[in-house]
Chain A
Amino acid sequence: MSKDTRVETYSRGLIEDPSRWKDWMGGMWAFYLHRFTGLVLSFYLVMHLFVLSTGYWMGHETYTEVMQAIAAPKVIHVMELGLFAAFVFHALNGTRIVLFDMMRGLEIQEQLFYLSVALSFAIVVASAPFFLLG
């Protein structure tokens, strides 16, 4: 970008100021939630492959031991539910974004975002017993 060189200017920064989060509108929340859940899912994928690779490198006995150790604490089940929630939202909001690419639903984007949030919430609540009690 070219600058007006006649005067000194004060830069207030180019990146979104996080202190303005209260003013974010639906689309902005959708963007950040989509980014965040995407990061969560990629992080999980790396960890997932890392754990699975113990079976390949260290033999099936070590693998079984590692898997049992991981699945034992209750907190892991809660985290699994969180992962599932991230997956569901990412999938539903991803559908919303694909719709935009096809020029559908641009006028109701905010409602579609709330719909994807509500649907993910319902799906996660409905499947919580399978994660927590199973």
Chain B
Amino acid sequence: MATTQTESEADAATEVGSVELEVFRYVPEEDDEPRFESYTVDAEEGTTVLDALIEIRDTEDASLTVRHSCRMARCGSDALYINGKQRLACNTLVKEVGEPVKVEPLPRFDVIRDLVVDMEGFYDRMEAVEPWFQPSHEPETGEEFLQSPENRKNIDTVLDCIWCGACTSSCSPAGTDDRFKGPAALAKAYRFYKDEREGEEARKNRLRLLEDAHGIYRCHTQFNCTEVCPKGISPTEAIMEMSRDATKQKLAFWRR
């Protein structure tokens, strides 16, 4: 039994051969303009783009800078623009994207160095939607705010967000409009909007925070965010549901 397993593992690790990578380079102390540099690395069946970048950094060019941490699509540090799409480098196999593998930092984010971008603006946007639990009253001693399983189901997908910034980078309204919070932040807002434990008042306040020309209505349903999200979240769906609710409330003026 043990031998079969080793054999199949050996099969899986067959060499794909050398793979060419074109990597975006920008070293602020040396370069005035960014440039692309080609590297060749040996890749196997399961080599991810992040593996290849680490290989380059370890063996070819120690100056290459790339953000990474968990290497298992959990931390969201290594969202990059790989062959025309925002992807997590650790979650993308070299062989699945085709050669040469063109690696760029996230578009519409300012580049600090090489593949590292400035995420401050993104975090500001995430914070702007008040992504924290706002109960209607302070909990009494021993009181718990319990969520029903049915209610929890609503936010199953949006909870998976790892704040990698891929969607916000792919969203052209988010790029051109600073006040638009972008798909990630609005999906986060949706997570709290759907939380029934906060009560009706908080729900209305959350919607009021979002409904203007620079809020939910700014979404042009390009679906870029949905296409690129490495966790399979559909921020477009979240935004559309919130804007539908907001519009319904606006139309039902006699009830106010």
Contacts and interface: CB of A to CB of B under 8 A. Distances in A.
A10 B26 contact: yes
Interface stretch (B42-50, B133-141, B149-157, B171-179): B171-179
A20 to B, nearest CB: 7
B221 A109 contact: yes
A3 B107 CA distance: 16
Interface string B214-256: 0000001111101100000010110011011001000000000
A98 to B, nearest CB: 11
Contacts of A27: 221-224, 226-227
Interface in A86-131: 97, 100-103, 106, 109-110
Given A4-B120, A27-B221, A103-B241, A15 B176 contact: yes
A1 B120 CA distance: 8
A20 B178 CA distance: 22
A10 B34 contact: yes
A27 B221 CA distance: 7
Contact of A31 (B109, B175, B221): B221
B224 A10 contact: no
A25 B113 CA distance: 28
Contact of A14 (B85, B113, B176): B176
A9 B110 contact: yes
Interface string A1-39: 111100111111111110010110111101100000000
A61 B129 CA distance: 62
A10 B53 CA distance: 21
B176 A2 contact: no
A15 B121 CA distance: 16
Given A16-B172, A22-B84, A109-B223, A101 B244 contact: yes
B212 interface: no
Contacts of B110: 3, 9-12
Given A14-B108, A20-B84, A101 B120 contact: no
B111 interface: yes
Given A7-B28, A103-B244, A28 B222 contact: yes
A121 B230 CA distance: 34
Given A15-B172, A109-B221, A101 B240 contact: yes
A101 B243 contact: yes
Interface of A: 1-4, 7-17, 20, 22-23, 25-28, 30-31, 97, 100-103, 106, 109-110
10 contacts: A2-B124, A11-B110, A23-B84, A23-B85, A25-B224, A27-B222, A97-B221, A101-B247, A106-B234, A109-B221
Interface of B: 26, 28, 34, 84-85, 105, 107-113, 118, 120-121, 124-125, 172, 175-176, 178, 220-224, 226-227, 234, 236-237, 240-241, 243-244, 247
